[in-house]
């Protein structure tokens, strides 16, 4: 299997003809965009829950949660790893669209820096509706941007070396779970940014919270880049590899989790009944993402792509998700302030002072505000269907204009 991947590496992209690529390019991009669109829609569910839920405890806390609430939070775990992984895949596939490795590296570097800037400006403003910068939170856009910056240099490695780097980072980073920031002395901040879900005191009353430490996200994006090589193979061979890879990763997750000797800090135990024991089994660590977390999310995602290979054409109902998958950043920048504005409007309409919704992140709110899970789902459907026309228009606009600048949104 890996021999086939290496045979279809970025060196082969340079010598493949446009004709040989074009026979499967529509299906390829539709399948990848469909998967990306699905996780973007799921992402909105998590953020609607942040703003509208009445729950003030961790939905994954088995001592307080319900099955429905747990799964509502758990299913959104697929969003970040698939988003980051496919960003790497997209970078590789751009090599087959006439871009040189140097072009891709420059784009990754500039877009990565752009995303980091967006995280602490527009994205932050959408989350908080405030200008108090005493607390900065590095979330998924920050991790995505930083990973792109690193990948802009990593793609110059030989393909096999890059594949080895990404796999080793994903497999081995949990070996360092016991390492603490204090062991690095004055460089403790660096270890927090790389591997610890902690806050950094910047001095002067300012704090940076590394919600998404960069390891192993850098490895996930690099692995996605290497994964893109599979799309230089003929469809039948690719389908078989995707199927085996997806099943293998899921099997690896089950075996490692069953014996629980490595790959996740959170150990599972027998709960009050079988369902809750199963929930504990799949409750793996996201911050930072453990090996088991990545196997649990990326394995099914790759398996899903293998199923899409069987469909010669994706039907019109799937186009709804494909649109979101083709304009992910545009959608991301819109959906957070839209959800936030809705929360403010609903609070006003129900005679609740929305003052607490300005200046702080919703996951830090300590109020009696909020609604039950059915209401959260209703708002989610309203938000996603409302954003679809805008995303559809922007997608068409991008296709007509074909501007390099639009690739940054």
Q: Is the pLDDT of residue 378 over 70?
A: yes
Distance of CA 52 to CAs 46, 47, 394, Å? 10, 9, 28
pLDDT in tens, 196-244: 999 999 999 999 999 999 999 999 999 999 999 999 999 899 999 999 9
Regarding predicted confidence, which is higher, 366 or 83? 83
Six-digit token string for 287: 């911050």
pLDDT in tens, 63-81: 999 999 999 999 999 999 9
pLDDT in tens, 82-132: 999 999 999 999 987 778 999 999 999 999 999 999 999 999 999 999 999
Segment among 1-10, 150-159, 242-251 with least mean pLDDT: 1-10
| pLDDT at residue number 18 | 38
Q: Is 87 exposed, middle or buried (0-12, 13-18, 19+ CB in 10 A)?
A: buried
Listed by start position, the domains of the chain span: 2-408
Q: What share of the chain is helix, strand, coil (3-state, %, to 5)?
A: 70, 5, 25
| pLDDT at residue number 17 | 36
| pLDDT at residue number 99 | 84
| Per-residue burial over 316-332, b = 16 or more CB atoms within 10 Å of its CB, e = otherwise | eebebbbbbbbbbbbbb
């Amino acid at each position: 299997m890996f021999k086939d991947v290496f045979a279809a590496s970025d060196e082969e992209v340079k010598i493949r003809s446009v004709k040989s690529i074009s026979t499967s390019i529509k299906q390829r991009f539709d399948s990848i965009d469909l998967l990306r669109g699905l996780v973007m829609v799921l992402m909105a569910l998590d953020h609607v829950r942040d703003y509208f839920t009445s729950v003030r405890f961790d939905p994954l806390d088995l001592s307080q949660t319900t099955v429905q609430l747990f799964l509502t939070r758990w299913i959104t775990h697929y969003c970040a790893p698939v988003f980051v992984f496919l960003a790497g895949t997209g970078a590789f596939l751009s090599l087959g669209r006439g871009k040189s490795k140097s072009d891709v590296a420059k784009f990754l570097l500039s877009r990565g820096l752009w995303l980091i800037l967006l995280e602490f400006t527009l994205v932050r403003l959408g989350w908080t509706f405030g200008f108090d910068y005493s607390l900065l939170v590095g979330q998924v856009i920050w991790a995505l941007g930083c990973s792109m910056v690193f990948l802009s240099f990593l793609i110059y490695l030989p393909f096999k070396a890059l594949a080895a780097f990404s796999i080793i980072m994903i497999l081995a980073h949990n070996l360092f779970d016991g390492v603490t920031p204090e062991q690095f002395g004055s460089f403790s901040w660096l270890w927090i940014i790389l591997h610890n879900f902690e806050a950094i005191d910047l001095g002067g009353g300012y704090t940076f919270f590394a919600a998404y430490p960069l390891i192993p996200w850098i490895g996930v994006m690099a692995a996605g880049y290497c994964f893109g090589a599979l799309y230089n193979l003929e469809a039948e061979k690719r389908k078989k590899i995707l199927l085996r890879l997806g099943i293998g990763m899921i099997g690896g997750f089950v075996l490692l989790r069953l014996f629980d000797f490595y790959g996740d800090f959170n150990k599972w135990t027998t709960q009050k009944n079988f369902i809750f024991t199963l929930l504990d089994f799949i409750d793996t660590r996201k911050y930072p993402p453990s090996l088991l977390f990545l196997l649990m999310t990326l394995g099914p995602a790759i398996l899903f792509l293998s199923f899409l290979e069987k469909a010669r054409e994706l039907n019109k109902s799937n186009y709804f998700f494909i649109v979101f998958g083709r304009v992910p950043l545009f959608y991301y920048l819109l959906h957070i302030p839209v959800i936030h504005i809705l929360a403010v409007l609903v609070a006003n309409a129900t005679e609740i002072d929305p003052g607490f919704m300005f200046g702080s992140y919703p996951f830090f709110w300590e109020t009696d505000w909020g609604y039950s899970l059915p209401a959260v789902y209703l708002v989610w459907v309203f938000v996603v269907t409302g954003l679809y026309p805008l995303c559809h228009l922007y997608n068409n606009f991008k296709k007509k204009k074909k501007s390099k600048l639009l690739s940054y949104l």
